[in-house]
C-alpha cells in the first residue's frame, strides 16, 4: 500500500455514541453477559491486532490470562496513533478507546476485515471493564492511558522511550455486569487456533498465568500456520482415514475479493464444511457456501460424466452425494458484508457466490485433470454415497411408516408425560433399564418423559447412514422426539415441526462409562440432529457424586471440593468420622433421591450443550469416536472430568 492511502488522519474516525448505553444494555452490544460474552471481549481486542496484521504491519500477538482473570492483548504493530483528534479534541488513542465504533473505521483504503461477531470495537470492552490500561509504543516513545468503566482517568501521557512499536491493552471485565468472570483456556485456545489458520503467518501466543505447569512456567500455546487453510483441513481430518492424500488449496483474489478454500475427502460419511467471512464463523452459511457447493457439484459431475463412470454405475447422483466424506474450509474477506439469518451468521452478498464458484471451479477441475487416480477415488465414493443414500431412504421410509405423524406408534419403552405442549415437556434419555425404572418412579409425570436406552448406542461416527436408521435405540429416539428426516426441498433435512419436547436431557452414570455414553449420544445429536443443539434443546443432567452424612446432617456433593468442605465443616477435616457414599450409578439412588438431586427443575443443575466452535467440535467428535487411540487418550487425560463439548 502507498503512503497516501494508509496515512492516518485522526479526523476520519467516526464518532457515534457514548459508552453509557453499552453498560446499560451490554447484551445488545456483545451478544450476552454470560461465559460467551466474557470471552467475546478478548476476541474483540484481538481482532484489532489481527486487522493490523492483515494490513501487513504486525506478526506477533500475545494474549495473557492473569491470575485475577484480567486479560492482556499485545501486538507488535504500528501502535494506535496518539496524535490530537481535531473534532473530538483529544488523542486518537482516547477516541479509539472511548467512542463506540471508532476502532476500525479509519479510511476507505483500509476496511475492517477482521471483527468479532458484533464488530463493536474495543471501546465496548472498555465500557464493560472496571479497569483498562492502554499502552502504545510509537515513534520511539511510550504512551499510556487508563480508564475505569470506559472513562479516562487522565489524558494520554508519555511515559518514556521505546525501541519497538506496538499496542498493549489490559482489561478487567466488570463482575457486576458479567454472570461469569472466569476465563476458560480451551475456549480462548480454540478461537485463537482458528484465527492462526485463517490468517497464515501470524503467531498468536496464549499464556495462562493461573496455571503453573512446572516451576516458573505457565500453561501456554503458540498458534501459527504457514500454509493457512491447507493446514486447517489437515488438522480437522488428522484423526480420519484419508480418501486422497492431498488437500486441494485455493488462495486467490477474484475482482478484489480474497477467496481461500481448502478441501479434501476422508472415508467417513460426514460432510464438514466450515465457513468464515472476515474471520467470523458463518454458522448459517450463505452465498460463499452456495458458490462452493455449486462449483463442487458441477465440476465433479462433469468429470464423472466425461469419464463415463456415471454411465457404468447406473445410479442417480444428487448434490449431497458429492459432499459425503468432504472436509472443507472456506474463508472470504468481504468489504461490506451483509449478515442475515437468525444468528446473523449467514452471508447475504450475492456477488460472492459467483466469485467463489469461479475460483473453486477452476482450481478443482485442474486438480482432477492432473490427478486421475484421486479423481477416480472421489467419483467412486460419490457413487457409493448415492447407493447408500438410496438404502438409507428405504430404511427411513420403514421407520417413518411404522410411526406415522399422528403420534401413534411411540416406542414401547417410552414412559411419556401427559402434557402435550412441547414447551413444557422434557425427555430424559436414561442409561440402562434399571435407572430408567427409577427415573420413571421419581419423575413428574405431567412434564417429564423417560426413554431408557440400552447401554451404549451405535457409534454413528463410523456407521453407514442406513445402519444409523436401522439401529433400534436410534429409531426410538427419532420416534419419541417426533422428528422425521426429509422435507419437500431437502431429502436429508431434519423435520422438527412435530418435536414433542423442548428439553432433551441425557442422564447417565457419573463414571467413565457414563461419560462415554454421553459422548456417543452427543455425537449422534451433533451429526444427525444438530439443529436441536443449535436451538438449545439438548442438555446433560448432573447427578451427584457423593452423599455425605454426619449425625443427622446429609448433603449431596457434586465435586471433590464440596465433599472436602463438608468434611471440614462437620468433622473438622477428619474424613473417618463422616459417612461418605460414592454414587457409582444412577441405579444406586432411590427414586426420591434421583428426583431431588437430578430431575427436580427447582434445584437440579443441567448443562446446556452448545457448539461454541463448529470446527473444533467436529475435530473433537471425530477424534473421540475414531480409530486412533492416541489422541483420544491424551484428550481424556487432559480433561479428567468430562466437560460438555464447548458448552
- Per CB under 6 A, residues contacting ligand 0RA are 6-8, 48-49, 52, 75, 77-81, 106, 167
Whether the CB-CB separation of 254 and 355 falls below 8 Å is answered with yes
- Specify burial of residue 489 (Cβ count, 10 A radius: 0-12, 13-18, 19+): exposed
Type and span of the H or E element at 539: strand 538-541
From CA 439, how far away is CA 437, in angstroms rounded?
Answer: 5
CB of 105 or CB of 413, closer to ligand 0RA: 105
Query: Which C-beta is closer to ligand 0RA: that of 73 or that of 392?
Result: 73
Q: Are 51 and 124 in contact (CB under 8 A)?
A: no
What's the half-sphere exposure (Cβ side, CA atoms, 13 Å) at 56?
4
Which residue(s) pair with 280 in the sheet? 277
- Minimum CB–partner distance for residue 176 and ligand 0RA (Å): 27
Note whether 280 and 117 are within 8 A (CB): yes
For residue 150, which of 117, 181, 172, 176 has the smallest C-alpha distance? 172
Distance CA 95, CA 16 (A): 11
CB nearer to ligand 0RA: pick between 72 and 239: 72
Specify the residue, 77 or 544, whose C-beta has the smaller distance to ligand 0RA: 77
Least distance CB 61 / ligand 0RA (angstroms) = 9
- The H or E element that residue 262 is part of is strand 257-265
- Could you give the 3-state DSSP secondary structure of residue 594? helix
Residue nearest to ligand 0RA (CB): 48
Q: How far is the CB of 50 from ligand 0RA (least distance, A)?
A: 9
Q: What is the dihedral of CA 123, 128, 131, 132, to 10 degrees?
A: -30
Question: Is the CB of 83 or the CB of 380 nearer to ligand 0RA?
Answer: 83
CB atoms within 10 A of CB 245: 10
Q: 78 or 381, CB closer to ligand 0RA? A: 78
Nearest to 382 by CA among 293, 319, 464: 319
- Other CB atoms within 10 Å distance of the CB of residue 595: 19
State the CB neighbour count (10 A cutoff) for residue 420: 10
DSSP letter, residue 1: -
DSSP string, 17-34: --SHHHHHSHHHHHS-SS
Dist CA 391 CA 467 (whole Å): 9
> In degrees to the nearest 10, what's the CA dihedral of 2, 85, 143, 20?
-120
Cell of 577: 468420622
Say how far residue 419 (Cα) sits from the centre of its chain.
Answer: 34
- Catalytic choice (88, 221, 340, 513): 513
Gyration radius of the chain's alpha carbons: 27
Contacts of 346 (CB under 8 A, 6+ apart): 282, 284, 285, 286, 339, 340
Q: Smallest gap, in angstroms, from Cβ of residue 48 to ligand 0RA?
A: 3
| Nearer to ligand 0RA (CB atom), residue 62 or residue 460 | 62
Residue with smaller CB distance to ligand 0RA, 137 or 510: 137
Catalytic residue among 94, 426, 461, 509: 509
Task: Return phi, psi of residue 636, to 5°.
Answer: -70, -40
Q: In the beta sheet, which residues pair with residue 581? A: 547
Between 167 and 207, whose beta carbon lies closer to ligand 0RA? 167
431, 461, 470, 618: which is the annotated catalytic residue?
431
Q: Say how many residues make up the chain.
A: 647
Q: How far is the CB of 145 from ligand 0RA (least distance, A)?
A: 14
Residue 364 and residue 305 in contact, taking contact as beta carbons nearer than 8 Å? no
Q: Which is nearer to ligand 0RA, 205 or 424 (CB)?
A: 205
Dig out the grid coordinates for 576 from the structure.
473417618
Q: Show the DSSP H helices in 31-175 as ranges.
A: 35-54, 92-98, 122-127
Q: Which grid coordinates belong to 448?
A: 417429564
Active site residue 511: yes
Verify whether residue 568 is a known catalytic residue.
no
Name the active-site residue from 146, 362, 511, 534. 511
Q: Which is nearer to ligand 0RA, 144 or 610 (CB)?
A: 144
| Residue closest to 126 by CA, chosen among 80, 94, 166 | 94
CA-to-CA distance for 279 and 284, rounded, in angstroms?
Answer: 14
Q: In sequence order, what are the residues at sequence separation of 6 or more whose Cβ sits closer than 8 angstroms to the Cβ of residue 4?
A: none
CB of 132 to ligand 0RA, least distance (A): 13
Active site residues: 431, 509, 511, 513
Amino acid at each position: 500500500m502507498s503512503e497516501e492511502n494508509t496515512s492516518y488522519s485522526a479526523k476520519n474516525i467516526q464518532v457515534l455514541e457514548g459508552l453509557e448505553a453499552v453498560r446499560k444494555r451490554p447484551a445488545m452490544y456483545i451478544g450476552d453477559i454470560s461465559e460467551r460474552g466474557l470471552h467475546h471481549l478478548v476476541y474483540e481486542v484481538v481482532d484489532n491486532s489481527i486487522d493490523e496484521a492483515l494490513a501487513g504491519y504486525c506478526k506477533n500477538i500475545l494474549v495473557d490470562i492473569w491470575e485475577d482473570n484480567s486479560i492482556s492483548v499485545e501486538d507488535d504493530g504500528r501502535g494506535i496513533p496518539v496524535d490530537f483528534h481535531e473534532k473530538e479534541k483529544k488523542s486518537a488513542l482516547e477516541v479509539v478507546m472511548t467512542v463506540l465504533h471508532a476502532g476500525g473505521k479509519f479510511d476507505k483504503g483500509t476496511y475492517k476485515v477482521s471483527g468479532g461477531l458484533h464488530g463493536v470495537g474495543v471501546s465496548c470492552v472498555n465500557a464493560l471493564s472496571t479497569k483498562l490500561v492502554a499502552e502504545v509504543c510509537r515513534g520511539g516513545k511510550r504512551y499510556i492511558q487508563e480508564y475505569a468503566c470506559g472513562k479516562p482517568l487522565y489524558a494520554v501521557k508519555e511515559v518514556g522511550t521505546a525501541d519497538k512499536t506496538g499496542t498493549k491493552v489490559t482489561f478487567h471485565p466488570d463482575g457486576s455486569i458479567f454472570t461469569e468472570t472466569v476465563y476458560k483456556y480451551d475456549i480462548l485456545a480454540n478461537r485463537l487456533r482458528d484465527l492462526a489458520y485463517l490468517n497464515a503467518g501470524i503467531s498468536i501466543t496464549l499464556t495462562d498465568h493461573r496455571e503453573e505447569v512446572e516451576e516458573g512456567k505457565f500453561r501456554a500455546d503458540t498458534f501459527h500456520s504457514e500454509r493457512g487453510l491447507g493446514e486447517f483441513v489437515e488438522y480437522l481430518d488428522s484423526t480420519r482415514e484419508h480418501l486422497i492424500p492431498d488437500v486441494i488449496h485455493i488462495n486467490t483474489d477474484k475482482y478484489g475479493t480474497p477467496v481461500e478454500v481448502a478441501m479434501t475427502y476422508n472415508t467417513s460419511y460426514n460432510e464438514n464444511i466450515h465457513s468464515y467471512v472476515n474471520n467470523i464463523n458463518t454458522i448459517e452459511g450463505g452465498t460463499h457456501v452456495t458458490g462452493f457447493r455449486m462449483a463442487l457439484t458441477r465440476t465433479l459431475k462433469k468429470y464423472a460424466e466425461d469419464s463415463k463412470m456415471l454411465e457404468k454405475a447406473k445410479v442417480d447422483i444428487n448434490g449431497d452425494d458429492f459432499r459425503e466424506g468432504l472436509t472443507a474450509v472456506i474463508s472470504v474477506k468481504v468489504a461490506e458484508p451483509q449478515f442475515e439469518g437468525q444468528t446473523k451468521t449467514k452471508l447475504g452478498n450475492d456477488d460472492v457466490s459467483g466469485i467463489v464458484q469461479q475460483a473453486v471451479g477452476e482450481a478443482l477441475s485442474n486438480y482432477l485433470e492432473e490427478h486421475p487416480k484421486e479423481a477416480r477415488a472421489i467419483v467412486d465414493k460419490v457413487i457409493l454415497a448415492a447407493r447408500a443414500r438410496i438404502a438409507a431412504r428405504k430404511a427411513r421410509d420403514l421407520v417413518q411408516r411404522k410411526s406415522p405423524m399422528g403420534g401413534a406408534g411411540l416406542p414401547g419403552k417410552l414412559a411419556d408425560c401427559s402434557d402435550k405442549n412441547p414447551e413444557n415437556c422434557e425427555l430424559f434419555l436414561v442409561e440402562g433399564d434399571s435407572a430408567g425404572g427409577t427415573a420413571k418412579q421419581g419423575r413428574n409425570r405431567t412434564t417429564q418423559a423417560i426413554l431408557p436406552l440400552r447401554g451404549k448406542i451405535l457409534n454413528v461416527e463410523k456407521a453407514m447412514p442406513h445402519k444409523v436408521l436401522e439401529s433400534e435405540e436410534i429409531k426410538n429416539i427419532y420416534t419419541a422426539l417426533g422428528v422425521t428426516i426429509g422435507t419437500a426441498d431437502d431429502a436429508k433435512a431434519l423435520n422438527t415441526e412435530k418435536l414433542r419436547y423442548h428439553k432433551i436431557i441425557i442422564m447417565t452414570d457419573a463414571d467413565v462409562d457414563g461419560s462415554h455414553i454421553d459422548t456417543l449420544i452427543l455425537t449422534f445429536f451433533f451429526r444427525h440432529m444438530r439443529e436441536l443443539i443449535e436451538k438449545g434443546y439438548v442438555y446433560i443432567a448432573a447427578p451427584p457424586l457423593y452423599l455425605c452424612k454426619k449425625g443427622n446432617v446429609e448433603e449431596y456433593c457434586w465435586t471433590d471440593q464440596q465433599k472436602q468442605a463438608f468434611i471440614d465443616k462437620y468433622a473438622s477435616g477428619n474424613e473417618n468420622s463422616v459417612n461418605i457414599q460414592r454414587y457409582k450409578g444412577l441405579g444406586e439412588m432411590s427414586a426420591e433421591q434421583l428426583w431431588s438431586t437430578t430431575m427436580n427443575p427447582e434445584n437440579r443443575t443441567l448443562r446446556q450443550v452448545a457448539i461454541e466452535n463448529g470446527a473444533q467440535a467436529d475435530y473433537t467428535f471425530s477424534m473421540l469416536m475414531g480409530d486412533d487411540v492416541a489422541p483420544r487418550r491424551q484428550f481424556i487425560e487432559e480433561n479428567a472430568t468430562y466437560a460438555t463439548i464447548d458448552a
